[in-house]
């Protein structure tokens, strides 16, 4: 072949810490997101087990009062901001550029900044445990419990600034997803051929961009109330605690869709592949995601049916909340129709994806009770709600995330996760999950409120609570098996080819793992399932014409791309800027001395980032 | 239309009532629960009926969807891993049908929701007003038309609607007695009305339902629904000033109370104690529980509380006063004499 003209900075060849700290490669950034989320999932999961241990019996003394409230708050905050959101961002980061035939995200250095901001923001939040106590007012932080009068410690300040840092991360990553998906698609990959995971990630990125400013503003006002004597949430001085709730839930409800839409996208990728059929009703599934995104901004006050809003207002939000069930039901029916008539292969990604559908349906249906205002007056703030949202966020998002990890693990690592361990993991997670969370529906109906650290015997709550606790430990055991599977498979897992699942989308065209530049030749797309159509020549009943398309699974240098590939230079400055912001936040909460150093680092990072060229000088020149 | 909806609800309740797992649950482990499905008020019953109706619909959808899913998964398992099934991309008629069916089902649920809401959101005009004030971490109840202030135990006449005006003196709480109907948030600066009523005599358990700080779990309450005659007797007793201590020990307790910090926070009508921060103790001895429903009102429990309030209720704002055992015994005798 002709001359090799890949312009690749040397550091890409390097392993080791510095290569990771300076990476701007979307794949490495994706891995960092996923590993970071995995680390925080361990913390959040241990917090959940502490909660369940305390509630296993009435009048238990394992985790009492203040300590319980801290763990409760950090469990919720961690799972939302440090696990589900970043792991979805990580999978999106890794997979979406591959899926749409791009060589990287649109803004590689901004991308690196996003992941560092997430990791440091998460550490900053958890640092509160060591520095005077974690936040303790719930993940929703209702004022006035969070104002200085009622929360004197620094826990709430860690929470305010931690969420601001994480918000910055989410906003930058969303800008990147929007730009990448809209601008960097391969030739021929029109929006109506876009894979569903990219569709849902696009909608999610818009949701984040419109929802985040609301919580950022709310957190800012709360910080002013706490430290500069303003009274935005103080009714005695003309403020209003409900202002917090409106601002928070205007973010908080779209946040629910932020966590579920990409998960729905993952399932919409996996079910067709393992049924060997196209997604049933592609257009309906794509547009229903957009519809959920829009309606998602008109339902926030359904978290506030018991605050005394007028009937007409409650009725509006009730109707809007029920309306969300229409696009959601469309998806569920389309997923089932996708499996229907297929040639279904029971591999682990499929098991988790099918379980997602089964469990998400339960969460969706229990949501209807909460949308019906009079029923909500009874069950809101009870364990019925805890059951409901764990069916959507664990039975839903988490099952889909695990499905996605089993599905893309061979692509990311070049090795399969073990099928036998995968089945054990699935069985434990499915049984444990249902045992932990199904009884909570009944606890709520039996009058047990949420967020109580203890309860009296004789109210009929003992048996179901014990059952839930046993279930939680079985669920945890499932994740132990998962962890073992990951570690073992990384070392001795079966090597995976480029296209291990007989896939449909472009990520299966390149090697496993892909080269830094993803594709030597940018593929041209002519259908919704480019890789499938390559293999089966457009004749739906044909046998494969090629066993597996090896794509670019070639030794480097064997073949040359048709044109020079420019890859952005590695940079340490995204990390420096993120560290500066974190240090500044630390200064605001702990000792002011950190703040000027934070500002200095931030300014230095900005200046160097701005003056460092994005692309290094090409060695050969051209 | 309204009648049809009402019949549908009754029908739904009868059928869904047979739903086996709930049947087992209802008769089994949670028979003693303050269950929203064992309502004793018109509001609670309307809410439970709507619950049963939605359960009927959602249970139907649940069975349908899960059956279809399981059937698809098991029926279409690939035997030949190389087989390529027919490549079907969609079906407009099918998709329009399930979209329409879903929308129709939701429209019905919304109509019933609206109807139930309109019927239960406003207390009847002739209701007895009661002010409910949430405080960290106990409940104050005022009867403005009767001139009574009490704590943690709300006494109401059976069958008479109550207009509870719910508010808070500090952070947000939520007032909830499941068998009497849905909860209402207690928000500082607002007074939210909610309709309470009990159609049977009895004691009904409730507790705070909004995270309000350290002892959120310990902010409990009881509603005692009594006959109209008994309620009148109770009202008269409550309106009387506090009983004078007769026993020597109780008289000693009176002295302790008036000389210690107690008077700074608690009021006992007819005495110099006029504090407004803690519960009004004028008729403390008539209450069945102490410490926001945490303990039975017995001499032993009261002594435990007076000795170290935070050990009973973490974070309790009542300080540990360092009372001697003798002072505690005297206070117990005095406080329990305040019938």
Band of pLDDT at residue A550, cut at 50, 70 and 90 = very low
Quick check: A144 and B188 CB within 8 A?
Answer: yes
Instruction: Give the domain range for residue A597.
Output: 579-616
Chain centroid, CA B295 distance in Å: 17
Mean confidence (pLDDT) of chain A: 92
**Whether A384 and A319 share a structural domain:** yes
Cβ pair A339:B181 closer than 8 A: no
- The verdict on A294 and A415 lying in the same domain is yes
Dist CA A270 CA B338 (whole Å): 71
d(CA A317, CA A302): 6
* Marked catalytic residue, from A52, A109, A302, A425: A302
A394 lies in some domain: yes
Cβ atoms of residues A559 and A520 within 8 Å: yes
Same structural domain, A531 and A603: no
Q: Are residues A467 and A414 in the same domain?
A: yes
Is residue A75 part of the annotated active site? The answer reads yes
Cβ–Cβ below 8 Å for A377 and B183: yes
Q: Is the pLDDT of residue A552 over 50?
A: no
Distance from CA of A334 to the nearest CA of B (A): 8
Q: How far B288 CA sits from the closest chain A CA (Å)?
A: 16
Pair A461, A610 in one domain? no
Question: Does A390 participate in catalysis according to the annotation?
Answer: no
Q: Is residue A561 part of a domain?
A: no
Up-side HSE of residue A349: CA atoms within 13 Å toward CB? 25
Which pLDDT band holds residue A622 (cuts at 50, 70, 90)?
very low
Confidence grade of residue A551 (pLDDT, cut at 50, 70, 90)? very low
Cα-trace Rg, chain B: 27
**Cβ of residue B17 closer than 8 Å to a chain A Cβ:** no
- Secondary-structure breakdown of chain B: helix, strand, coil percentages, each rounded to the nearest 5: 45, 20, 35
Residues A65 and A160 in one domain: yes
Q: In degrees rounded to 5, what are phi and psi of residue B310?
A: -65, -25
**Of A321, A14, A450, whose CA–CA distance to B217 is shortest?**
A450
The verdict on residue A13 lying in a domain is no
In a domain, A10, yes or no: no
CATH number of A409's domain: 1.20.210.10
Query: Which among B223, B238, B222, B226 is positioned nearest to B294, based on CA atoms?
Result: B222
- Residue A50 domain-assigned (yes or no): yes
Tell me: do A592 and A482 sit in the same domain: no
**DSSP run (H or E) holding B223:** strand B220-226
Report pLDDT for A620. Answer: 46
Q: Give the distance from residue A487's alpha carbon to the nearest chain B alpha carbon, in angstroms.
A: 29
b/e sequence B172-211, b meaning 16+ C-beta within 10 Å: bbbbbbbbbbbbbbbbbbbebebbbbbeeeeebbbbbbbb
CB contact under 8 A, A329 and B99: yes
Q: Is the domain of A343 the same as that of A485?
A: yes
pLDDT, tens digit (0-9, with 9 covering 90-100), for B155-208: 999 999 999 999 999 999 999 999 999 999 999 999 999 999 999 999 999 999
- A482 with A594, same domain? no
**Digit-coded pLDDT (tens) for A521-547:** 889 998 999 999 888 865 555 444 333
Q: Which residues of B touch A277 (CB under 8 A)?
A: 85-88
Residues of A in contact with B61 (CB under 8 A): 361, 365
Domain boundary among A550, A567, A598: A550
DSSP conformational letter for A6: E
| Inter-residue contact A351 to A399 (CB < 8 Å) | no
The residue from A508, A531, A550 where one domain ends is A550
**Four-point Cα dihedral B300, B302, B306, B310, nearest 10:** 100
More confident residue, A10 or B96: B96
For residues A54 and A68, the answer to whether their CB atoms sit within 8 Å is: yes
Looking at the fold, whether A504 and A588 belong to one and the same domain comes out as no
A450 catalytic, yes or no? yes
> Number of A:B CB contacts under 8 A?
291
Q: How far apart are CA B243 and CA A569, in angstroms?
A: 85
Chain B hits for A459, Cβ within 8 Å: 30, 32-34, 205
On the question of pLDDT at A353 being above 80, the answer is yes
Instruction: Note if the pTM is more than 0.80.
Output: yes
Of B25, B73, B182, the CB nearest to A344: B73
Phi-psi region of A414 (alpha: psi -120 to 50; beta: other; left: phi over 0): left
Number of compact structural domains in chain A: 2
Same domain for A333 and A243, yes or no, is yes
- In this structure, the answer to whether residues A486 and A417 fall within a common structural domain is yes
HSE value, Cβ hemisphere, 13 Å, CA-based, for B51: 28
Tell me which residue in B25, B31, B77 faces A442 most closely, judged by beta carbons. B25
Residue A512 falls in the annotated catalytic set: no
Looking at residues A213-217, what average pLDDT do you find? 97
A541 catalytic? Reply is: no
List all residues of chain B from 198 to 217 with a beta carbon under 8 Å from chain A. Answer: 205, 207-217
pLDDT band at residue A15 under the 50/70/90 scheme:
confident
Q: What is the pLDDT of residue A301?
A: 96
| Nearest residue, CB atoms, B189 vs list A235, A340, A379 | A235
Search chain A and give the residue with CA nearest B37. Answer: A445
First-to-last C-alpha distance (Å) of chain B: 53
Q: Which residue among B46, B91, B99 sits closest to A326, beta carbon to beta carbon?
A: B99
Q: Is residue A155 part of a domain?
A: yes
B61 touches A: beta carbon within 8 Å: yes
Answer whether A561's CB lies under 8 Å from A223's CB.
no
Q: Which residues of B touch A455 (CB under 8 A)?
A: 217
Which pLDDT tens digit goes with each residue over B92-126? 999 999 999 999 999 999 999 999 999 999 999 89
A570 belongs to a structural domain? no
SS3 B156: strand
Q: Do B211 and A446 touch (CB under 8 A)?
A: no
In a domain, A12, yes or no: no
Distance CA B3, CA B16 (A): 20
Round to the nearest angstrom and report the end-to-end CA distance of chain A.
18
Chain B CA closest to residue A335: B69
ipTM: 0.93
B8 touches chain A (CB under 8 A): no
Q: How far apart are CA A70 and CA A48, in angstroms?
A: 12
């Amino acid at each position: 072949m002709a001359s090799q003209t890949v312009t690749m900075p040397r550091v890409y060849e390097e392993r080791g810490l510095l290569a990771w700290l300076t990476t701007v490669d979307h794949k490495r950034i994706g891995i960092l997101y996923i590993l970071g989320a995995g680390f925080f999932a361990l913390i959040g999961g241990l917090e959940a087990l502490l909660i369940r241990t305390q509630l296993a019996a009435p009048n238990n003394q394992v985790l009492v009062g203040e300590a319980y409230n801290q763990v409760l708050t950090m469990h919720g905050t961690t799972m939302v901001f440090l696990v589900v959101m970043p792991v979805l961002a990580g999978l999106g980061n890794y997979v979406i550029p591959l899926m749409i035939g791009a060589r990287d995200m649109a803004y590689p250095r901004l991308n690196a900044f996003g992941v560092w901001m997430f990791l440091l923001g998460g550490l900053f939040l958890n640092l509160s445990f060591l520095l005077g106590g974690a936040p303790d007012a719930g993940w929703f932080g209702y004022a006035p419990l969070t104002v200085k009068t009622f929360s004197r410690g620094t826990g709430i300040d860690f929470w305010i600034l931690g969420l601001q840092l994480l918000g910055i991360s989410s906003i930058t990553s969303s800008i990147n997803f929007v730009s990448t998906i809209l601008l960097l698609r391969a030739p021929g990959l029109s929006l109506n051929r876009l894979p569903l995971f990219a569709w849902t990630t696009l909608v999610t990125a818009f949701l984040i961009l419109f929802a985040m400013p609301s919580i950022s503003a709310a957190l800012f006002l709360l910080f002013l109330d706490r430290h500069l004597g303003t009274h935005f949430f103080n009714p005695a001085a003309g403020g209003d605690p409900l202002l917090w709730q409106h601002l928070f839930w205007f973010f908080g409800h779209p946040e629910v869709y932020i966590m579920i839409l990409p998960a729905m996208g993952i399932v919409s990728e996996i079910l067709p592949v393992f049924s060997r059929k196209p997604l049933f009703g592609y257009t309906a599934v794509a547009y229903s995601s957009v519809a959920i995104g829009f309606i998602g901004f008109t339902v926030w006050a359904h978290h506030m049916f018991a605050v005394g809003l007028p009937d007409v207002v409650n009725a509006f939000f009730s109707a809007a909340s029920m309306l969300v069930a229409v696009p959601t039901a469309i998806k569920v029916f389309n997923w089932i129709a996708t499996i229907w008539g297929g040639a279904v292969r029971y591999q682990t990604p499929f098991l988790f994806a099918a379980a997602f559908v089964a469990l998400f349906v339960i969460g969706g249906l229990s949501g209807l009770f909460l949308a019906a205002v009079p029923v909500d007056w009874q069950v809101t703030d009870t364990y019925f709600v805890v059951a409901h949202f764990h069916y959507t966020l664990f039975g839903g998002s988490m099952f889909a995330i695990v499905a996605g990890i089993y599905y893309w693990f061979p692509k990311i690592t070049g090795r399969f996760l073990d099928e036998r361990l995968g089945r054990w993991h699935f069985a434990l997670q499915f049984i444990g999950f249902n045992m932990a969370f199904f009884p909570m529906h009944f606890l709520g109906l039996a009058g047990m409120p949420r967020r109580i650290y203890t309860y009296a015997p004789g109210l009929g709550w003992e048996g179901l609570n014990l059952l839930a606790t046993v279930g939680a430990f079985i669920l945890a055991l499932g994740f132990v098996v998962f962890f073992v599977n990951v570690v073992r498979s990384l070392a001795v897992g079966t090597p995976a080819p480029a296209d291990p699942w007989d896939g449909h989308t472009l990520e299966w065209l390149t090697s496993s793992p892909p080269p830094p530049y993803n594709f030597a030749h940018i593929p041209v797309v002519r259908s919704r399932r480019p890789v499938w159509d390559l293999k089966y020549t457009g004749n739906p009943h044909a046998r494969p014409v090629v066993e597996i398309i090896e794509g670019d699974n070639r030794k480097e240098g064997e073949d040359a791309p048709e044109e020079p590939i420019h890859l952005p230079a590695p940079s340490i400055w995204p990390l420096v800027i993120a560290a500066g912001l974190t240090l500044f936040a630390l200064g605001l909460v702990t000792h002011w001395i950190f703040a000027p150093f934070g500002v200095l680092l931030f300014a230095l990072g900005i200046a160097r980032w701005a003056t460092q060229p994005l692309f290094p000088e090409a060695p050969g020149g051209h | 239309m309204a009648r049809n909806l009402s019949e549908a609800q009754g029908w739904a309740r009868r059928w869904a009532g047979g739903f086996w797992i709930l049947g087992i649950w209802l008769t089994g482990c949670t028979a003693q629960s303050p269950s929203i499905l064992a309502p004793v008020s018109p509001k609670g019953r309307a809410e439970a009926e709507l619950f049963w109706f939605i359960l009927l619909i959602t249970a139907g959808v649940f069975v349908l969807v899960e059956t279809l899913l399981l059937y698809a998964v098991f029926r279409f398992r690939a035997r030949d891993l190389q087989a390529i099934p027919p490549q079907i991309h969609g079906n407009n008629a099918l998709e329009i049908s399930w979209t329409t069916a879903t929308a129709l089902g939701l429209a019905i649920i919304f109509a019933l929701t609206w109807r139930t809401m309109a019927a239960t959101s406003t207390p009847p005009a002739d209701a007895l007003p009661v002010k409910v004030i949430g405080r960290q971490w106990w409940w104050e109840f005022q009867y403005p038309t009767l001139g009574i202030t009490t704590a943690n135990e709300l006494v109401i006449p059976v069958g008479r609607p109550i207009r509870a005006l719910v508010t808070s003196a500090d952070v947000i709480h939520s007032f909830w007695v499941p068998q009497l109907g849905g909860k209402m948030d207690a928000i500082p600066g607002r007074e939210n009305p909610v309709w309470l009523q009990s159609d049977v005599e009895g004691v009904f358990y409730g507790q705070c339902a909004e995270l309000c700080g350290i002892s959120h779990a310990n902010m409990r309450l009881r509603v005692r629904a009594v006959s109209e005659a008994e309620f009148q007797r109770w009202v008269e007793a409550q309106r009387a000033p506090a009983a004078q201590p007769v026993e020597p020990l109780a008289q000693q307790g009176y002295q302790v109370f008036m000389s210690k910090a107690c008077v700074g926070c608690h009021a006992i009508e007819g005495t110099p104690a006029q504090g407004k921060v803690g519960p009004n103790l004028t008729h403390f001895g008539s209450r069945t529980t102490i410490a926001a429903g945490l303990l039975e009102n017995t001499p032993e429990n009261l002594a435990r509380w007076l000795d170290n309030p935070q050990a009973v209720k973490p974070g309790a704002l009542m300080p540990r006063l360092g009372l001697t055992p003798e002072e505690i015994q005297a206070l117990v005798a005095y406080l329990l004499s305040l019938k």
